[in-house]
Amino acid sequence: MKISYKTTITIGIISCFLLLSCSKDDSVAPVEELPPLPAVTVTASGEYSVNDLPGDVTKTMDGKEVTDDGGFNTVYYSLEDGRVVPKEYANTDKWDIAFSGVYNSTIWANNGSVKYESGGSNPGYGSPASGMFYLVVDSEVDAKYYNSINHKPIQIPIPFSYLDEAYSKINRVTVADDQFNYYGSLGLDHFLASGNGYAFYDFYGNMAPGDAKKTHVVYNMARPFIIKTAKGNYAKVILYSFYKGKPENPNRDNVAPYLSFKYTLLKGGGKDFSVLKN
């Protein structure tokens, strides 16, 4: 790189101004106040439904801006308390599940220890939580709607009854903690950098040829997952939809991201969901 003497002087002057402005603004840093948390809606073990939880609805992928990579803000949710948690609490144990990335479709448990050598980190990096997740792939239920060879649904839509079936079949946490995933995130099924996932993303609209409104549509699969919460309790979760109104057969006219899911939480560290059935 060639830099002229004039440029050097200019840069010098500019950097002086930068420094001066630094020293000027160097007042006492205000104590960062965390915003108030919404009211607690969950206090006991049980099954809870969350419908149309807004993701970052200020963003869309329909924009044509070249620089638009989505830039969706992460949504943090406390399964333990049944409330959305503001982003200022990201590095605390106040949340259990986060939704990030394009259409808030990447799911995280809260784990404060995970920072990647490739850059990036768990959204809870720095928190005291050791959360993790386990995706349940029920091959019996999968066989009803999914081709496990080419990783595509046999047909769309995928009925919610299959999602409920796979979810209901989880009677207890049978996998040991060391089989859980604490390091990564849970994403779309076999799309780009992902293996087994919880939803099928029909990028090209291959499931409904000729219907332009069926491209780029996400179909949630019968793939429940178990979350180990920030407090160390277990919850099973089934995610139904990313679209407002929880349509079973969505298309591009449906508004996203609005998350609808159901979960069963066991307070107190238990692993047996069947005790709650009645």
Residue 106, strand partner residues: 100
Lookup result for tokens 């005291």? 128
Size of the site for other proteins (CB under 8 A): 43
Residue 3 makes contact with other proteins by CB under 8 A: yes
Residue 181, strand partner residues: 133
Preceding peptide of 30 cis, ω within 30°: no
Residue 40 makes contact with other proteins by CB under 8 A: no
| Region binding other proteins by CB under 8 A among candidate stretches 48-56, 65-73, 157-165, 172-180 | 65-73
How far apart are CB 62 and other proteins at their closest, in Å?
A: 8
How far apart are CB 141 and other proteins at their closest, in Å?
A: 26
Please enumerate in sequence order all residues whose Cβ is within 8 A of that of 10, keeping only pairs 6 or more positions apart, or say none.
none
Residue 126 makes contact with other proteins by CB under 8 A: no
Please enumerate in sequence order all residues whose Cβ is within 8 A of that of 273, keeping only pairs 6 or more positions apart, or say none.
170, 171, 172, 173, 236, 264, 266
How far apart are CB 17 and other proteins at their closest, in Å?
A: 9
Select the residue interacting with other proteins from 50, 79, 102, 266 (CB under 8 A). 102
Preceding peptide of 209 cis, ω within 30°: no
Interface residues with other proteins (CB under 8 A)?
1-3, 8, 11-12, 15-16, 18-20, 22-23, 26, 61-70, 100-102, 106, 114, 116-120, 182-184, 187, 191-194, 204
